[in-house]
């Protein structure tokens, strides 16, 4: 695709004014740089500004507004909705801003806006420290933290955003503002769940905890035992202390026989806690990969390739994982007649329930689990079928829902009501006030958007 001469000249101007670089469609790195985790998204931006610092971000924001280009902000590129890339617009790409500085005495980490969890964990683990983050290394720290953050240490330390103690933001007007508890507590509250709505985060500061090894990995179950194994997962989760986080992933194999992965992460002192004994004796266990290992190994328990398949996700925070819901999920996995993807079940027990709910905008602390239907496939001809499967399965879960779905897993087609429900009406209105203050023209709308008032 070609661009008018005036745009080509303007891009040269942008190139000259950045410390970072600018990719256009004719650059060899453009194809890789526009790629999302989700292959369902195939967009061609006018340009990708790979910013090197906060000044570059301000310049790119000003350039886009001056030239009427829609803006997308790219961290790790993982958002399933593809918010990080926009047709014919400008991508503000933070992938060159990935430095993570650790202050072991203050137990704080300062992460640049484009760092991934791999960058973050490598830096913090070098000091034997950790913050609860995402479970896949290539996910962006900022995107995940600003939308909540559920992972292997949720029960122990809360959501990622609960541990966000400060941020540096460049607003669409070009100002650099600092969010912290002392001067801008309302903004910090909004950043804990409200996503990239208020500015481009060039730096985020997180609280850290000492932790080097965990007892974790994967238990795999297959066949008829899966139903009972999933019940065991639910039962041990209900009784566990805060030193155990647990996730489960339900799938089917090529013959449509159920398969279950349970990925626990225990940080207590025992080598073989009671919960693990129950999981080891559950029916259908075919592989036991749970052992003491480095936290960095735990962060590789799920390691999907980037940009290899098409994804459509939809889910609900649920009040309970009843026997009836478990049965429904297992039956749903066979409904398409071929492996449709997975259902991810993330426990929200533990620290999230004890943390002051008024400290963060996100609003699903009361839920027991986050149940996400994750269709994934490779053949474009199957798009409609897999999307329909995800929608139908998510609709069937709705009777157990306590609020809207998890903003970080939402597709772009979710209605505003679902976004509102994920926060609750009061918090949503507070977020709208913040939006009006920091981005009154809704320049940053490629996200789970909070409309201005």
Ligand X SMILES: Cc1cc2nc3c(=O)[nH]c(=O)nc-3n(C[C@H](O)[C@H](O)[C@H](O)COP(=O)(O)OP(=O)(O)OC[C@H]3O[C@@H](n4cnc5c(N)ncnc54)[C@H](O)[C@@H]3O)c2cc1C
Q: Which of 142, 342, 343, 422 binds ligand X (CB under 6 A)?
A: 142
| Residue 92 Cβ vs ligand X, minimum distance, rounded to whole Å | 9
Minimum distance from residue 6 beta carbon to ligand X (Å) = 28
Residue with Cβ nearer ligand X (45 or 140): 140
Shortest spacing between CB 266 and ligand X, in angstroms: 18
Q: Give the Cα separation of 188 and 182 in Å (integer).
A: 10
Q: Is 113 in the site for ligand X (CB under 6 A)?
A: yes
Using the rule CB under 6 A, is 140 a contact of ligand X? Answer: yes
Q: In angstroms, rounded to a whole number, what is the distance separating the alpha carbons of residues 110 and 352?
A: 23
Q: Name the nearest CA neighbour of 398 among 379, 417, 381.
A: 417
Choice between 63 and 406, CB closer to ligand X: 406
User: Measured between alpha carbons, how far is 92 from 73 in angstroms, rounded to an integer?
Assistant: 5
The verdict on 73 binding ligand X (CB under 6 A) reads: yes
**Number of residues near ligand X (by CB under 6 A):** 35
Cα separation, 208 vs 94, whole angstroms: 23
Specify the 3-state DSSP secondary structure of 91.
Answer: strand
Question: Do the beta carbons of residue 117 and residue 133 sit within 8 Å?
Answer: yes
Contact between 447 and ligand X per CB under 6 A: yes
What's the rounded Cα separation, in Å, for the pair 284 and 281?
9
Distances (CA, A) of 287 to 144, 267, 314: 30, 22, 29
Q: How far apart are CA 346 and CA 83, in angstroms?
A: 23
Interface with ligand X includes 83 (CB under 6 A)?
yes
Taking the C-alpha atoms of residue 439 and residue 177, their distance in angstroms, rounded to an integer, is 13
**Measured from the CB atom, is 119 or 242 closer to ligand X?**
119
Q: Tell me the closest approach of the beta carbon of residue 300 to ligand X, in angstroms.
A: 12
State the minimum distance, in angstroms, from the CB of residue 81 to ligand X.
8
- Taking CB under 6 A as the criterion, the residue among 20, 75, 340, 352 binding ligand X is 75
The stretch among 61-69, 144-152, 372-380, 414-422 that binds ligand X (CB under 6 A) is: 144-152
Please, are residues 312 and 256 in contact by the beta-carbon 8 Å criterion? no
Q: How many residues does the chain have?
A: 453
Site track 291-320 with ligand X (rule: CB under 6 A), x = hit: -------------x----------------
Residue 20 found at the interface with ligand X (CB under 6 A): no
145: how many CB neighbours lie within 10 A of its CB? 32
> Under the criterion CB under 6 A, does residue 76 sit at the interface with ligand X?
yes
CB of 451 to ligand X, least distance (A): 15
Interhelix angle for 323-333 vs 226-239, to 10°?
Answer: 140
Cβ partners under 8 Å of residue 417, min gap 6? 404
In angstroms, what is the minimal distance from the CB of 246 to ligand X? Answer: 13
- Under the binding rule (CB under 6 A), the answer on residue 252 touching ligand X is no
- Candidates 145-153, 209-217, 325-333, 377-385: pick the segment binding ligand X (CB under 6 A): 145-153
Instruction: Pick the binder of ligand X from 144, 248, 360, 450 (CB under 6 A).
Output: 144
Please select the residue that binds ligand X; options are 148, 166, 194, 258, rule is CB under 6 A: 148
Contact residue for ligand X among 37, 189, 266, 276 (CB under 6 A): 37
19 with 45: CB under 8 angstroms? no
- Strand-pairing partners, residue 168, are 178, 203
The DSSP code sequence of 115-179 is -BHHHHHHHHHTTTEE----SSTTSBHHHHHHH----TTHHHH--GGGGEEEEEEE-TTS-EEEE
Q: Give the shortest CB-36-to-ligand X separation in angstroms.
A: 7
Binding of ligand X at residue 151 (CB under 6 A)?
A: yes
Can you give 414-451 as a three-state secondary structure string?
CCHHHHHHHHCHHHHHHHHHHHHHHCCCCCCCCCCCCC
Give me the phi and psi of 196, to 5 degrees please.
-85, 40
Among 74, 192, 386, 445, contact with ligand X (rule: CB under 6 A): 74
Q: Could you say whether residue 78 binds ligand X (CB under 6 A)?
A: yes
**Closest distance to ligand X from the beta carbon of 409 (Å):** 6
Q: Output the six-digit token pair for 340.
A: 């449709």
| Cβ nearer to ligand X, comparing 85 with 336 | 85
- Choose between 142 and 222: whose C-beta lies nearer to ligand X: 142
Rg from Cα positions in the chain: 22
Under the rule (CB under 6 A), what is the footprint of ligand X? 37, 73-80, 83-84, 94, 113, 134-136, 139-140, 142-144, 146-151, 196, 200-201, 304, 408-409, 446-447
């Amino acid at each position: 695709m070609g661009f008018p001469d005036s745009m080509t000249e303007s891009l040269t101007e942008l190139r000259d004014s950045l410390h970072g670089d600018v990719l256009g469609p004719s650059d060899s790195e453009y194809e890789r740089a526009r790629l999302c985790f989700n292959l369902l998204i195939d967009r061609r931006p006018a340009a990708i500004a790979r910013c090197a610092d906060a000044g570059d971000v301000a310049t790119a924001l000003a350039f886009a507004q001056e030239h009427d280009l829609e803006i997308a902000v790219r961290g790790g590129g993982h958002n399933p909705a593809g918010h990080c890339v926009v047709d014919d617009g400008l991508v503000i790409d933070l992938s060159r801003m990935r430095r993570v500085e650790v202050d072991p005495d203050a137990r704080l980490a300062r992460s640049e806006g484009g760092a991934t969890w791999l960058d973050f964990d490598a830096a913090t683990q070098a000091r034997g420290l950790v913050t609860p983050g995402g479970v896949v290394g290539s996910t962006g720290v900022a995107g995940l933290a600003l939308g909540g953050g559920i992972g292997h240490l949720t029960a122990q330390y809360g959501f990622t955003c609960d541990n966000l103690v400060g941020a540096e933001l460049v607003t669409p007007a070009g100002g650099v503002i600092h969010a912290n508890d002392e001067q801008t507590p309302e903004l910090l509250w909004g950043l804990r769940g409200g996503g990239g709505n208020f500015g481009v985060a060039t730096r985020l500061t997180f609280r850290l905890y000492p932790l080097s090894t965990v007892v974790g990995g994967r238990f795999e179950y297959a066949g008829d035992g899966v139903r009972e194994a999933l019940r065991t997962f639910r039962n041990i989760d209900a009784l566990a202390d805060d030193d155990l986080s647990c996730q489960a992933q339900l799938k089917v194999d090529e013959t449509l026989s159920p398969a279950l992965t349970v990925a626990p992460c225990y940080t207590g002192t025992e080598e073989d806690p009671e919960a693990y004994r129950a999981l080891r004796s559950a029916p259908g266990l075919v592989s036991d990969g749970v052992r003491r290992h480095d936290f960095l190994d735990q962060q590789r328990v799920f390691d999907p390739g980037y940009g290899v398949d098409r994804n459509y996700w939809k889910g609900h925070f649920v009040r309970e994982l009843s026997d009836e819901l478990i049965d429904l999920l297992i039956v749903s996995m066979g409904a398409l007649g071929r492996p449709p993807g997975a259902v991810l079940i993330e426990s929200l027990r533990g620290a999230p329930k004890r943390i002051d709910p008024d400290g963060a905008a996100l609003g699903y602390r009361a839920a027991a689990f986050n149940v996400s239907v994750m269709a994934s496939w490779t053949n474009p001809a199957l798009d409609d079928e897999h999307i329909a499967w995800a929608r139908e399965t998510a609709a069937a879960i709705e009777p157990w829902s306590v609020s809207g779905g998890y903003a970080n897993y939402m597709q772009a087609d979710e209605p505003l009501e679902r976004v509102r429900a994920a926060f609750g009406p009061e918090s949503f209105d507070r977020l709208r006030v913040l939006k009006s203050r920091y981005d009154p023209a809704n320049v940053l709308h490629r996200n789970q958007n909070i409309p201005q008032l």
